[in-house]
Chain A
Amino acid sequence: MSRITADEVRELALLARLRLSDDEVARMTGDLGAILEYVDALSALDTNDVEPMTHAVPFDCPERPDETRPSLPLDEALANAPRRDGDFFQVPRIVPGPGGAGGAEDGS
């Protein structure tokens, strides 16, 4: 019936790195099914021999001189980081280290 199943929605949510509640999955399954059904109308349009249009106006990638220019000062670039460690953005441990298997963030 629907174009997409709840299991497909769960798999897609994982790929898109979105945690969805069961209610959200149910609602999303219905919404995406209805939208996909609507966009199927496009199959009636003959697009043989039509070049894909990827840009709204004719566009050539402009070139610029490869010169060193000032960039954001480190402190400004890091100012919005929810967690920082010195000059770095801090994330949960990715690989096991000497302190153990790692993973969980301390605090919070």
Chain B
Amino acid sequence: MTIDARGATAVAIADKVRAGTWLARDVVEHYLDRIARLDGALGCYLLVDADGARRRADAVDAVRKAGRDPGALAGVPLGIKDIFCTRGVETTCASAILRGFKPPYESTATARLAAAGGVMLGKLNMDEFAMGSSNENSSVKPVRNPWSVAHVPGGSSGGSAASVAASLCAGSIGTDTGGSIRQPAALCGVVGVKPTYGLVSRYGVIAFASSLDHPGPFGRTVEDAAALLEAMAGPDPLDATSIPQPVGAYREAARAGRTGATPLAGVRLGVPDEYFQAGMDPEVEAAVRAALDELARAGAKLVKVSLPNTKYAIATYYLICTAEASSNLARYDGVKYGHRAAGVSSLEDLYTKTRGEGFGAEPKRRIMLGAYVLRAGYYEAYYGKALRARRKLADDFSAAFAACDAIVTPTSPVPAFKFGERMGDPLQMYLADVLTVAPNLAGVPAVSQPCGFTKSGLPIGLQTIGPTLGEEICFRVASAYEARTDWHTRRPPEAS
């Protein structure tokens, strides 16, 4: 039996482990060996839990040997963004202020993946507290793009995207507050899914902006991502904002997308002009236009739609997310867990010194901006205004979905940029999210998948946005495109 991480999909691994063709333990050893050899150059993992992974794999094999079904993700080696609390395994959000924190409980998302037989390999690098679009804000080390190590992988879930692209796990999970799953998926050439708000529980997910945080999966194929989402999703009594709806048939939707010559017959796909504005890289635009043609050949009808308030999305997003972040990050005070400053003279001194030492530049910037827009006297002009603008942006989607079943756009206006290129100017970094933030504000689902490469070999991403709880149509459209193209079968170069 030969395990080929670069060729195997997550669902193929699960099938083989369930059938007893492969042992989960052997699969895990294969991936641990790859991480040991290859991750030094990429920086995807903050922590590799090799012994824990072996134990979990052995448990999966034991279940199968006992004649029981080890689950839909049996033996699938998974990478977990370091924002998900994992019981007894250090969880830091890539921040110095949480160094050493070992959560006393497990997030619902990771618990459900494990219950389905998934095997966590370790914790993945990210921008500190999920704040960033390039992974340069990790307090530990940057993640490098497997397609070109001079380029960023995107962010904030850069480790989650790069580890899947480099086959250092068979699937991963991340969080998307303004594009943090889809943008790195686009820049690394993998599939990333931001589900409907509340479809995946936020219990045990370290909070950045609670009304915008969406946990979701990464996979190398649409069906892999669908399989992970099926395992993670569903109501959770531990998260009052989780949606009381049954989990959809996402894998079935993905399979329907590759069935027949015109799997999208009768599907209306909206194309908004506002997502093809000046400033877009011409190679990105050409690739996405070609993808639209391919979707039309798969039977879809392309219709023009308008999302007229798109130009207000970034301003709205940064007002709301910083306000929520400044509240959420108030809990890091040097008392309950994590970093505590030494040699302090008072409680106030303990707070200010601990936080001044423990937070990096971007969390500080967002705490300050959030505190500013929430101040008495400014609240209505900034935060109140943004909440009203958010309603208008959400209404744009409702109106558009009256005329179409899903909306197709580029994920990022540019391919991966170089390290340092945007770090000097926070506003330029914020604008990297210009095509991804609106679905977070509206809470609607969206999928990013590879749709081509630049001449220099960097991946390009295609975004499919669905209406609330429209994950199935997103998977069907994405899968139809995937079945007609081979971008998802390409692999980045690899040192031998």
Residues of A within 8 A of B (CB): 4, 9, 12-20, 24, 27-28, 31-32, 34-36, 38-39, 41-43, 45, 47, 50-57, 59, 61-62, 64, 72, 76-77, 79-83, 89, 91-92, 94, 103-105, 108
CA distance A32 to B372 in the complex (A): 9
Is A9 within 8 A of B368, CB to CB? yes
Residues of B within 8 A of A (CB): 100-102, 104-105, 196-198, 211-212, 237, 240-241, 243-244, 309, 311-312, 314-316, 318-319, 326, 330, 333-340, 342-353, 355-357, 359, 361, 364-365, 367-369, 371-372, 375, 382, 384-392, 394, 425-427, 430, 440-443, 468
Is A50 within 8 A of B243, CB to CB? no
Closest to A13 in B: B368
Return chain A residues, CB-CB under 8 Å to B326: 16
CA distance A2 to B371 in the complex (A): 18
CA distance A27 to B426 in the complex (A): 11
Closest to B428 in A: A34
Is B364 within 8 A of A42, CB to CB? no
Is A18 within 8 A of B352, CB to CB? yes
Q: A53 with B387: in contact, given A9-B368, A72-B105, A92-B350 (CB under 8 Å)?
A: yes
Q: A92 with B345: in contact, given A17-B352, A31-B426 (CB under 8 Å)?
A: yes
Q: Name 8 interchain pairs, CB-CB below 8 A, sorted by A.
A: A35-B427, A36-B372, A38-B315, A50-B392, A57-B443, A92-B347, A104-B346, A105-B344
Lowest 3 CB-CB distances: which A-B pairs, in order? Answer: A56-B443, A19-B356, A52-B387
Return chain B residues, CB-CB under 8 Å to A43: 385
Is B348 within 8 A of A104, CB to CB? no
CA distance A89 to B350 in the complex (A): 13
| Residue of B198, B345, B355, B386 touching A19 (CB-CB under 8 A) | B355
Is A91 within 8 A of B335, CB to CB? yes
| Residue of A47, A51, A103 touching B346 (CB-CB under 8 A) | A103
Return chain B residues, CB-CB under 8 Å to A32: 365, 368-369, 372
| Residue of B345, B364, B384, B430 touching A52 (CB-CB under 8 A) | B384
Closest to A49 in B: B388
Would you give the shortest CB distance from B245 to chain A, in whole angstroms?
10
Contacts beyond the supplied A16-B371, A17-B351: 4 A-B pairs with Cβ under 8 Å: A28-B364, A54-B211, A56-B443, A80-B102
Is B241 within 8 A of A59, CB to CB? yes
Closest to B315 in A: A39
Closest to B352 in A: A19
CA distance A89 to B361 in the complex (A): 28
Is B340 within 8 A of A83, CB to CB? yes
Return chain A residues, CB-CB under 8 Å to B211: 54-56
Q: A53 with B342: in contact, given A12-B372, A18-B355 (CB under 8 Å)?
A: no
Return chain B residues, CB-CB under 8 Å to A82: 334-335, 337-340
Return chain B residues, CB-CB under 8 Å to A24: 361, 364
Q: A53 with B356: in contact, given A17-B351, A35-B318 (CB under 8 Å)?
A: no
Would you give the shortest CB distance from B65 to chain A, in whole angstroms?
33
Is A62 within 8 A of B244, CB to CB? yes
Would you give the shortest CB distance from B385 to chain A, in whole angstroms?
6
| Residue of B244, B311, B345 touching A104 (CB-CB under 8 A) | B345
Is B344 within 8 A of A92, CB to CB? yes
Is B337 within 8 A of A80, CB to CB? yes
Q: A18 with B364: in contact, given A32-B369, A55-B241, A57-B243 (CB under 8 Å)?
A: yes
Is A57 within 8 A of B198, CB to CB? yes
CA distance A6 to B303 in the complex (A): 50
Return chain A residues, CB-CB under 8 Å to B353: 19
Would you give the shortest CB distance from A52 to chain B, in whole angstroms?
4
Task: Pick from B240, B388, B427 the residue with the most CB of A within 10 Å.
Answer: B388
Is A76 within 8 A of B104, CB to CB? yes
Closest to A20 in B: B356
| Residue of B101, B240, B388 touching A51 (CB-CB under 8 A) | B388
Is B104 within 8 A of A52, CB to CB? no
Would you give the shortest CB distance from B428 to chain A, in whole angstroms?
10
Is B368 within 8 A of A56, CB to CB? no
Return chain A residues, CB-CB under 8 Å to B394: 53, 56
CA distance A61 to B239 in the complex (A): 11
CA distance A84 to B440 in the complex (A): 40
CA distance A21 to B416 in the complex (A): 33
Is B426 within 8 A of A35, CB to CB? yes
| Residue of A50, A79, A103, A105 touching B102 (CB-CB under 8 A) | A79
CA distance A12 to B361 in the complex (A): 16
CA distance A104 to B76 in the complex (A): 51
Is A42 within 8 A of B386, CB to CB? yes
CA distance A59 to B368 in the complex (A): 29
Would you give the shortest CB distance from B132 to chain A, in whole angstroms?
14
Closest to A46 in B: B392
Is A18 within 8 A of B368, CB to CB? yes
| Residue of B314, B336, B368 touching A80 (CB-CB under 8 A) | B336
Return chain A residues, CB-CB under 8 Å to B335: 81-82, 89, 91
Is A16 within 8 A of B368, CB to CB? yes
Is B336 within 8 A of A47, CB to CB? no
| Residue of B319, B347, B359 touching A94 (CB-CB under 8 A) | B347
Would you give the shortest CB distance from B7 to chain A, in whole angstroms?
38
Would you give the shortest CB distance from B242 to chain A, in whole angstroms?
9
Is A91 within 8 A of B384, CB to CB? no
Closest to A21 in B: B356
Return chain B residues, CB-CB under 8 Å to A64: 237
CA distance A108 to B101 in the complex (A): 20
Return chain B residues, CB-CB under 8 Å to A27: 361
